[in-house]
């Protein structure tokens, strides 16, 4: 962040191998959408002179316009201004020819932020923290599967070393990390080139499942950028190595899902962690933040679980939460307070799947925490390890309920602008209807002659 247009253009001049660029905004589903432009148009893009339809930021998961979308029909599908986010030009070496990405976000005709843009939603929450003299420090943990690209159903990849197909869970397997070292090493190299702060990599609980953590940064917009760029990087490099990398919430029905866990704390103007009061319990401010997270959780679930497949992950007796609950050092709950020294006191939010849009996830989390702090909401008592047996408030059990909860939620009105809420609800309703019209093979085989 903070690079000048001149500095970025100087960098581009030093890379004559880059013949084209990608200029893109992030849509509601976390997908980058935009244009391939010649390098000669880089300055135009960096100076905010590119335009794209607002509606492209709110298309459904298939890239289709939302039926009845007022951005299309009442405005003549008007263009918005695409402003540079300030995040450099990001090299992408995994394409057929070297290229680079110019990340953009929408502004209105008069240059003010377009509040239907998911990155703008997060920026608005951060402005509210700034007014209180607080700075969120955020880190994300992203899980993904490598799968065989030649199968119509998810299947473990073949080891590049042994040639054998992975067919069992291998939690924290060093051998599996070693087998896929060429892929992982290239991911780390690409992340360094894009200034994405990658940390630990592990083999997770599923067949060909990995988790790579991103370091804490005192800039939540940058943390969300990092997560979006990381997902693109992993997918691109996986294709180069002959795999598909999937951040789908639950590609295997009976294996672990892919999560996007978020860790955060808050610093005051002097750089002190306001969640730390010297105790193991954490400060009143931290508890109020937890109270806000719990109060807004059910209303926000469609942000954390935005797709049809997302609700296969949120099942009882798994590491994915189903109850609106919190606890200390407890991975069975939605909000976990990790152990460690008081100076490092933080909150871990465990609801989101890796299929979610990181900008909206961080906006929902930090926005709810802010509401809790402002209203001094109590989280109640922490849950014990019997969380699945207790009668606790639950997350919405299905996609339709989550969409309705977000549409009518009172707290999400304080977090998200009406333009974004309306667009997201319309997008998700159209996707829900599309799935409802499809009869899958298992359903057909079960009922064809038996009823």
Looking up tokens 């795999």 gives 243
Per-residue tokens: 159: 């080891």
Residue 352 phi, psi (nearest 5)? -70, 140
Q: Are residues 86 and 30 in the same domain?
A: yes
Tell me the pLDDT tens digit for each residue of 236-255: 999 999 999 999 999 998 88
CATH of the domain at 63: 3.10.20.70
Instruction: Say what the pLDDT of residue 157 is.
Output: 81
430 part of a folded domain: no
Instruction: Report the number of distinct structural domains present in the chain.
Output: 2
Give yes or no: residues 103 and 137 share one domain: no
Q: What pLDDT band is residue 169 in, cutting at 50, 70 and 90? A: low
Integer angstrom CA distances of residue 161 from 63, 180, 218, 242: 38, 8, 39, 14
Which range (128-137, 163-172, 227-236) has the least confidence? 163-172
Q: pLDDT tier at 401 (50, 70, 90 boundaries)?
A: very high
Q: Is residue 291 part of a domain?
A: yes
What is the predicted pLDDT for the residue at 150?
85
Structural domain includes residue 114: no
Distance CA 100, CA 160 (A): 28
d(CA 332, CA 326): 9
Same domain for 366 and 222, yes or no, is: yes
Name the β-bridge partners of 69. none
* Mean pLDDT on 265-293: 97
330-345 pLDDT tens trace: 888 999 999 999 999 9
Give residue 198's domain range. 126-416
Looking at the domain assignment, is residue 436 inside a domain? Answer: no
Statement to judge: residues 80 and 178 lie in one domain: no
Which secondary structure element, helix H or strand E, spans residue 139, and what is its range?
strand 135-147
Residue 35 included in any domain: yes
Q: Do 160 and 23 have their domain in common?
A: no
Q: Are residues 56 and 171 in the same domain?
A: no
User: What share of the chain in percent tops pLDDT 90?
Assistant: 78
204/307 same-domain check? yes
Is the pLDDT at 40 greater than 90, yes or no? yes
Per-residue pLDDT band for 94 (boundaries 50, 70, 90) equals very high
The answer as to whether 442 is a domain residue is no
Asked whether residue 308 falls in the same domain as residue 198, the answer is: yes
Q: What pLDDT shows up at residue 262? A: 98
Higher confidence at residue 234 or residue 254?
Answer: 234
């Amino acid at each position: 962040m903070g690079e000048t247009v001149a500095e970025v253009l100087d960098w581009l001049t030093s890379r004559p191998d880059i013949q084209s660029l990608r200029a893109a905004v992030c849509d509601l589903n976390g997908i980058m959408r935009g244009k391939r432009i010649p390098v000669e148009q880089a300055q135009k893009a960096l100076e905010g002179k590119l335009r794209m339809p607002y509606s492209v930021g709110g298309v459904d998961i298939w890239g289709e316009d939302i039926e009845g979308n007022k951005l299309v029909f009442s405005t003549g599908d008007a263009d918005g201004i695409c402003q540079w986010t300030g995040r450099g030009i990001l090299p992408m070496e995994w394409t057929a020819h070297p290229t680079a990405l110019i990340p953009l976000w929408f502004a209105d005709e008069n240059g003010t932020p377009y509040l239907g843009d998911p990155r703008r939603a997060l920026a608005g929450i951060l402005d509210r923290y700034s007014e209180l003299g607080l700075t969120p420090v955020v880190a994300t943990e992203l899980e993904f599967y490598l799968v065989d690209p030649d199968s119509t159903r998810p299947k473990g990849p073949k080891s590049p070393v042994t040639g054998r197909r992975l067919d069992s869970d291998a939690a924290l397997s060093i051998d599996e990390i070693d087998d896929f070292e060429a892929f992982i090493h290239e991911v780390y190299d690409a992340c360094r080139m894009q200034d994405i702060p990658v940390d630990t990599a592990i083999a997770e609980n599923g067949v060909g499942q990995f988790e790579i953590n991103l370091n804490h940064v005192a800039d939540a917009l940058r943390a969300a950028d990092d997560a979006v760029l990381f997902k693109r990087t992993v997918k691109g490099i996986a294709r180069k190595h002959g795999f598909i990398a999937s951040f789908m919430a639950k590609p295997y029905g009976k294996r672990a899902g892919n999560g996007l866990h978020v860790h955060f704390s808050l610093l005051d103007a002097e750089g002190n962690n306001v969640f730390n009061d010297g105790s193991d319990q954490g400060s009143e401010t931290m508890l109020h933040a937890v109270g806000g997270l719990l109060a807004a959780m059910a209303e926000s679930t469609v942000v954390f679980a935005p797709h049809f497949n997302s609700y296969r992950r949120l099942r009882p007796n798994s590491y994915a939460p189903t109850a609106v609950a919190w606890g200390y050092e407890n991975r069975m709950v939605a909000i976990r307070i990790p152990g460690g020294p008081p100076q490092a006191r933080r909150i871990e939010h465990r609801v989101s799947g890796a299929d979610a849009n990181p900008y909206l996830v961080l906006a929902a989390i930090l926005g709810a925490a802010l509401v809790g702090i402002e209203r001094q909401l109590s989280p109640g008592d922490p849950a014990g390890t019997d969380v699945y047996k207790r009668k606790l408030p639950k997350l919405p059990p299905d996609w339709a309920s989550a969409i309705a909860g977000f549409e009518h939620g009172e707290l999400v009105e304080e977090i998200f602008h009406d333009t974004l809420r309306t667009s997201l609800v319309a997008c998700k309703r159209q996707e829900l209807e599309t799935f409802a019209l499809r009869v899958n093979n298992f359903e057909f085989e079960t009922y064809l002659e038996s009823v």
